[in-house]
Amino acid sequence: MLTTILMAILLTELPGEPMLRAEDATHVKVYYEAGRYGGWPANHGIWSWGDEILVGFSRGYYKDLGPTRHAIDREKPEEFWLARSLDGGETWSLEHPTEKGFLIPRGKSLHGTETPGQTLPPITDMKEPMDFTHPDFALAFRMDNIDGGQSRFEYSYDRGRTWKGPYRLPDFGTLGTAARTDYLINGKHDALIFITAGKQNGEEGRPLCARTTDGGITWEMVSWIGPEPEGFAIMPSTVRISETELFTTLRRREGTFRWISAWRSLDNGATWTQEKNPVDYLGEGNPPMLNKLRDGRLCLTYGFRAYPYSIRARISQDNGKTWGPQIMLRDDGRDRDVGYVRSVQRADGKMVTVYYFDDEISGPERYIGATLWDPDNLSEIVSGSRDRQRAF
């Protein structure tokens, strides 16, 4: 098993492989608080309207539970929060979820909310259709932690300042679902979603595509994305290439080996064909974030959970058939508990990549960080340089 991991490192991280660095990348803190834990933007979602960006994250309490576990105190409350930027990710303000109604945690293990007297809203069935074409629309999906396998969704018509829901998402005949936010809008009441469902043995997970044509009142399964894996294939991130072509990336694991796989559909999600892996090795693994840039290129961002603990990207010029070198956004992570990125492209073409992170300067607490970088301003990490030695 160790040999397999070492071989993967040798095959994907050889010093001779080109690697790029994002020049003039700017790192900012979205949320940091001493004694606290900020985590997992990929579990929540990111939305943008020009240079206005909204991202969700978890806010808990820091506790060192050892090198193989998340450093969050599971005996204290974890709340879901929002951060908003009005200037393309340069500065951020925080919004309290119990005031905004954003997907409040429900699991008993999370000990509810810290707000005294806060009542957690019940999950109901949607009666009125959503208008997916509303200019200030946002839609969020989350898995529920009370009835393992129940997923829910909420939506907003005012850029996430208030939310309606939560509403029940069906299980599509599976043993349970673990939905995160990944959707494509087709029309006023027509949308595709891409979520993870339980496997036949009840373990995670297998991705599926589902559709609503009545604004979310009903949902129908469209297809499985690939066969059921022995390990897991979870947390899809999907873009539309054309009127009929879709491309998705998945977090994959088999045994101790982790990577990102890719699948293509030429019939709007009815069937899928596996493509070249965008990333062959990810250390302990991390979910992908896939964006289609304004010029048509695909941009993949992800966390790297092996030394150097880092946030990285790759770009495809040909709709995911091939991928350029890995791009180092930052490589100063203190340990493996980093990543879960969400990214958007802002009005001037720069990318805003949001993630959770810790570094030697800030201390052991995980914080929500953002890197602002230009996909057209890259330089090669020169072999033999200090950067090259750190990168590999």
Q: Is residue 158 part of a domain?
A: yes
Kind of pairing, strands 289-292 and 273-279? unpaired
Q: Is residue 121 part of a domain?
A: yes
pLDDT surpassing 80 at residue 123: yes
Q: Is residue 10 part of a domain?
A: no
Q: How far apart are CA 312 and CA 366, in angstroms?
A: 18
Q: Is residue 11 part of a domain?
A: no
Q: Is residue 209 part of a domain?
A: yes
Q: What is the dihedral of CA 186, 341, 374, 249, to 10 degrees?
A: -50
Residues 293/330, Cβ–Cβ less than 8 Å: no
Number of domains in the chain: 1
pLDDT on residue 392 = 26
DSSP E strand boundaries for 144-231: 151-156, 164-169, 177-178, 183-185, 191-198, 204-212, 220-224
pLDDT surpassing 80 at residue 140: yes
User: What value does the mean pLDDT take over residues 295-309?
Assistant: 97
For residue 185, how many C-alpha atoms fall within 13 Å in the half-sphere facing its CB? 13
The DSSP secondary-structure symbol of 233 reads E
Question: Higher-confidence residue: 354 or 107?
Answer: 354
Helices (H), the chain: 2-12, 97-100, 386-391
Q: How would you list the strands of the sheet with 138-143, edge to edge?
A: 138-143, 151-156, 164-169
pLDDT on residue 79 = 87
| The model's pTM | 0.91
pLDDT on residue 4 = 39
pLDDT surpassing 80 at residue 388: no
pLDDT on residue 370 = 98
Taking only the tens place, the pLDDT of each residue in 25-51 is 999 999 999 999 999 999 999 999 999
Q: Is residue 192 part of a domain?
A: yes
Q: Is residue 3 part of a domain?
A: no
pLDDT surpassing 60 at residue 58: yes
Q: Is residue 150 part of a domain?
A: yes
pLDDT on residue 335 = 94
Residue 252 CA to its chain's centroid (Å): 14
User: What value does the mean pLDDT take over residues 160-186?
Assistant: 95
Q: What is the CATH number of the domain that holds 118?
A: 2.120.10.10
pLDDT surpassing 60 at residue 14: no
Closest among 7, 74, 71 to 39, alpha carbons compared = 71
Taking only the tens place, the pLDDT of each residue in 70-117 is 999 988 888 889 999 999 999 999 998 665 555 556 554 344 567 666
Taking only the tens place, the pLDDT of each residue in 215-232 is 999 999 999 999 999 999
User: What value does the mean pLDDT take over residues 321-334?
Assistant: 97
pLDDT surpassing 80 at residue 277: yes
Q: Containing domain of residue 135, as a range?
A: 20-391
The rounded percent of the chain whose pLDDT value lies above 90 is: 80
